[in-house]
Structure 1
């Protein structure tokens, strides 16, 4: 391998890791609650330390961001947070009955670690559900959910997780992933 090819390969790897690096710096600044030059510089040092010491495989991004679907995701997520908070509060304050619980398995339709992670985090952040396990090889998320009293409630929760997967894929997934989601949705509707 020539030195030029080596430099090009290193540059490509650095470019692919740039979004992760920027995210680490932003996360550092958010954790400290400061948006100062000092926080930025120490965030860069921390990000370099993390990326050099803890060697992770490069995250393959689709290179596609759909701002419209990203906005739809953010708005729906904010509404789901409010709705989930109210429903959980009502269930806790209703002393006449205990809210039903279940652990469900949700097989995802896409084969991507990043999409699976985003879907799991989204499902866990909405009050009323929590990821308890994942099966990375089979692409299954296992959730503990509250507020279920029938099989229909369980199916609604499963559909909700698949809905979040679809929103995330439409916002940041590749064209092939969007096509796969669309095909799965159309196949399930028939």
Structure 2
């Protein structure tokens, strides 16, 4: 005779994760311990001990940017010829290296640190704004009534790095219906032409969208806790033309994660 009070009922399943989620959970832990941590340790070790020549940038971050520029010029050369061969790749690399050495552009300091998850969120937001703005521009072009009214809106971004500011401007220009027509570099002010704006509510909505883009770029590239000024820049905020109060404004506009979860519930 069974000791259980209800012998006909199946025994309860033990509390815990199922086999498949438990397997992937262990796999993730093993990947972090066995791959990500040794890779991070190796990168830090190389950064502290590897000496990068000045003609290569003098720093691993600068070297990475120059290597990316060389790769991009090589890719453009191969696209121009329209045939992927080893000869075109080698010649493209030589032409790209000659352009970077003989016709160098002004130095763009690499500062801060990129966060992949935040960057993916920024990319998905760009794709969504691209689709939404394309539909709005298409509807404004075919709808009956008065022609669209365009305005120029002044936007202030609390972004310190020139490279990140350039990426933010490219982000705005890629979205249909918006175009940066002038940049006040000293005061970090953008003058953006916005397509079909008729009410103050639409202007306020555009300012809210720009504030969100500002927070996402700071969260992705230049968080204050991880900011590392380049050797080509000073270390004071006045050099970057971004007062502390403006950065604090962005930080205060971002609610804590706990508050966001409570609000979503």
**Which range, TM-score by smaller chain?**
0.7 to 0.9
Structure 2 CA distance for partners of 1:177 and 1:8, relative to 1, 3 Å:
closer
- Tell me whether 27-36 or 111-120 shows the greater mean CA deviation: 27-36
5 Å-filtered alignment, 1:118-137, equals 118-137=167-186
* Deviation of the 1:39 alpha carbon: 4.0
> Which TM-score applies when normalising by structure 1?
0.80
Q: Secondary structure at the match of 1:138?
A: coil
* Deviation of the 1:53 alpha carbon: 2.1
Equivalence for 2:11: none
Q: Secondary structure at the match of 1:144?
A: strand
5 Å-filtered alignment, 1:97-116, equals 97-116=146-165
5 Å-filtered alignment, 1:1-190, equals 10=54, 12-13=57-58, 15=60, 16-30=62-76, 32=79, 36-62=85-111, 64-176=113-225, 183-187=248-252
- Unaligned 5+ residue runs, structure 1? 1-6
- With CA pairs under 8 Å and 6+ residues apart, which has the higher RCO, 1 or 2? 1
> Which TM-score applies when normalising by structure 2?
0.60
CA RMSD, aligned part only?
A: 3.0
What is the alpha-carbon distance in structure 2 between the residues aligned to residue 45 and residue 146 of structure 1? 43
Q: Secondary structure at the match of 2:97?
A: helix
- Unaligned 5+ residue runs, structure 2? 1-50, 228-243, 255-265
Q: Secondary structure at the match of 2:248?
A: helix
Q: Deviation string for 1:2-61 (max 9, x for gaps)? A: xxxxx8651553641432432342354156166543443233223212221233343222
Hey, which of these two has a bigger chunk of helix by percent?
1
* Deviation of the 1:78 alpha carbon: 0.8
What is the alpha-carbon distance in structure 2 between the residues aligned to residue 39 and residue 165 of structure 1? 40
